[in-house]
Amino acid sequence: MSSSAANAASVQRSTAARVTWRSRLHGATHRAGLIALTVVALLALYEGYNQLWRATGWTWPFPADDTTLPHLWTIFKAFADPAQVNQPSLFSVLIHKALFTAKEAFAGFVLGAVFGFALGAALAHSKLLQRGFLPYIVGSQTIPILAIAPMVVIWVNPKLPSGMQGWGAVAVISAYLTFFPVAVNSLRGLNSADPRMLELMRSYAASTWTVLWKVRFPASLPYVFSALKVAATASVVGAIIGELPSGLQSGLGGAILNFNQYYSIEPQELWATNIIASLLGIVFFLAVLGAEKAVVRRAPERRA
């Protein structure tokens, strides 16, 4: 009986493996195709609007000319042209700046995520803390980041080692935007554990830490990951904004500030910078998505 059960199980398992492998490959090409199609459609929409509004002279909702909507090819050509005389192409300059901003954003993301989760975990264990602190945590996000960024720079920079001067403070500003969604969702996720599982752990006389590690934490992961996806893009935005008052020229924020001043002459350079900035956000998002796929193992319909 048990050997035939084992046989049935192994047959079932190998067919299951084959099916998931094939459907995964199929799903991946399917998804890639869909993404490519969306990108092409968006580009076509942009250029279509551009051409039609220029041809007819329509001005509603906004007019199309070389300043408001540079042609696609003008933007792509700007990537290839040198940013300044005798310098590398704008594309390679922007990539370098993007890497710098990515460093700040990544540090801010990690800092914010760790702090946010720790905060969520502390609040999840005490109703009193929750009632006392939650309003202030929510309140912290109503202060415009641009208003506190200069103060953060002044406070943080003197405390940093020389290797982290400048970008370290920007990472802290980025973390300020990151920790909030993570804290709120961690709190929710840690409290989402099935009460029957907590009862089972109680029957094993499990300690608070064991319950946190073996039940509450795994149960919170779908919630935490949806927060991390929001936080991933927020950390990039936070890093870019943080560069503005810091006067840092090495990142995308500095480039945006710079190209803003020349917008009426060369709008395509700001557009090109924006494309790189949003690509950076997408890369961060996809990295979290990949981590989620690798880590969260549960019923497909229960993914939050």
Positions that interact with another protein (CB under 8 A)? 1-2, 5-10, 13, 16, 194, 196-197, 199-200, 202-206, 210, 214-215, 218, 221, 296-299, 302
Please report how close the Cβ of residue 262 comes to another protein at its closest, in angstroms: 53
Our CB check for another protein shows the closer of 5 and 147 to be 5
The sign one gets for the Cα dihedral 69, 74, 79, 85 is negative
Written as six digits, the tokens of 162 are: 């020389």
| Pairwise CA distance, residues 244 & 150, whole Å | 9
Our CB check for another protein shows the closer of 222 and 281 to be 222
The sign one gets for the Cα dihedral 50, 54, 56, 59 is positive
Please report how close the Cβ of residue 197 comes to another protein at its closest, in angstroms: 6
| Pairwise CA distance, residues 145 & 136, whole Å | 15
> For residue 127, which amino acid is it?
K
Q: Spell 195-229 as b/e; 16+ CB within 10 A means b.
A: eeeeeebeeeebeeeebbeebbbbbbbbbbbbbbb
> Is-contact 273 279, C-beta < 8 A?
no
| Pairwise CA distance, residues 152 & 193, whole Å | 37
Our CB check for another protein shows the closer of 13 and 26 to be 13
Our CB check for another protein shows the closer of 136 and 209 to be 209
Please report how close the Cβ of residue 143 comes to another protein at its closest, in angstroms: 37
| Pairwise CA distance, residues 281 & 276, whole Å | 9
Our CB check for another protein shows the closer of 11 and 32 to be 11
Please report how close the Cβ of residue 216 comes to another protein at its closest, in angstroms: 12
Our CB check for another protein shows the closer of 201 and 276 to be 201
The sign one gets for the Cα dihedral 101, 106, 109, 112 is negative
Our CB check for another protein shows the closer of 30 and 303 to be 303
| Pairwise CA distance, residues 304 & 301, whole Å | 8
Please report how close the Cβ of residue 206 comes to another protein at its closest, in angstroms: 6
Please report how close the Cβ of residue 297 comes to another protein at its closest, in angstroms: 5
> For residue 256, which amino acid is it?
I
Please report how close the Cβ of residue 301 comes to another protein at its closest, in angstroms: 9
